[in-house]
Amino acid sequence: MWNWKFSVVLITLLLMGCQKAQVDEGKVLNHYDHFLEDVGELFRYHAEENEMFYNERYQTKEEVDQLLKPYMTEKGISQIKNDFFVEVESRLVYKEDFQLYLRERGDYRSFYSGNRQYYDVIRESVINPGLRLINPDIVKMQEENGRILMEGIEIPIYFYHEQDVYAQQQFGQLGYPSNDLLSISVSFVSKGNTLLIDQIQIGS
């Protein structure tokens, strides 16, 4: 005789196996936003020695690791370090594009001097403030093989209204357009209940 209780259990297990894992979008976006808030620390507190600029608060690999460890895997942290720094005599100094920008500014404590525009330098990096202005309804999230992938192609970013003269003066001096298009791809992995960013790509 067929055991109907066994049938119910079997069907339930089959249905559970066929269901696609649901992504907790709120948790993903919250982690992403907190990461963007803190990673901006890597291009601040500028100092200069022997004609090389560096970050006074984050001069070593260990200091950068400590900042990013709550948000990223070792692979992700390594990517960010390679994007921003090179090591010279045990100190992390900014990579060439950032060096040139700070050098051309003359007074490196002011954002408003120099010929190279700030936004051009940071546009395709994780410190682009436009990344925090992305409409979450536009990005796509999916879970595959234990990873969560968040992607968006040519997402419109609005910094200020074109007719706002004050905003044009403030943001325009830093090279910000009134609007821009950015593409992002962020890969997350889970370690227990913790999300970590494994890879992040910013493009136009």
Q: What's phi and psi for 173, nearest 5 deg?
A: -65, -20
pLDDT digits (tens, 9 = 90+) for 49-88: 999 999 999 999 999 999 999 999 999 999 999 999 999 9
Confidence of residue 146 (pLDDT cuts 50, 70, 90): confident
Please provide residue 92's backbone torsions phi and psi, each rounded to the nearest 5 degrees: -80, 125
pLDDT band, residue 152 (cuts 50/70/90) = very high
pLDDT(115) > 50: yes
Neighbours of 54 (CB within 10 A): 21
Calpha distance 34→85 (Å, rounded): 22
pTM of the model: 0.83
- What does the pLDDT read at residue 112? 47
- 106 within 8 A of 114, measured Cβ to Cβ: yes
More confident residue, 193 or 126: 126
Judge whether residue 2 has pLDDT over 50: no
- How far, in whole angstroms, is CA 61 from its chain's centroid? 18
The CATH fold of domain 23-203: Nuclear Transport Factor 2; Chain: A, (3.10.450)
Q: Which residue type sits at 101?
A: Y
Tell me what percent of the residues of the chain surpass a pLDDT of 70.
85
Range of weakest confidence among 21-25, 125-129, 159-163: 21-25
Which residues does 65 contact at the CB level (< 8 Å), separation at least 6?
Answer: 77
**Which token pair is 99?**
């060096």
The more confidently predicted of residues 10 and 188 is 188
| 171 Rama class: left (phi>0) / alpha (psi -120 to 50) / beta | alpha
User: Looking at residue 128, what DSSP letter applies?
Assistant: -
pLDDT of residue 107: 52
Q: Is pLDDT at 1 greater than 80 in this prediction?
A: no
Measured distance between the N- and C-terminal CA atoms of the chain, rounded to whole angstroms: 65
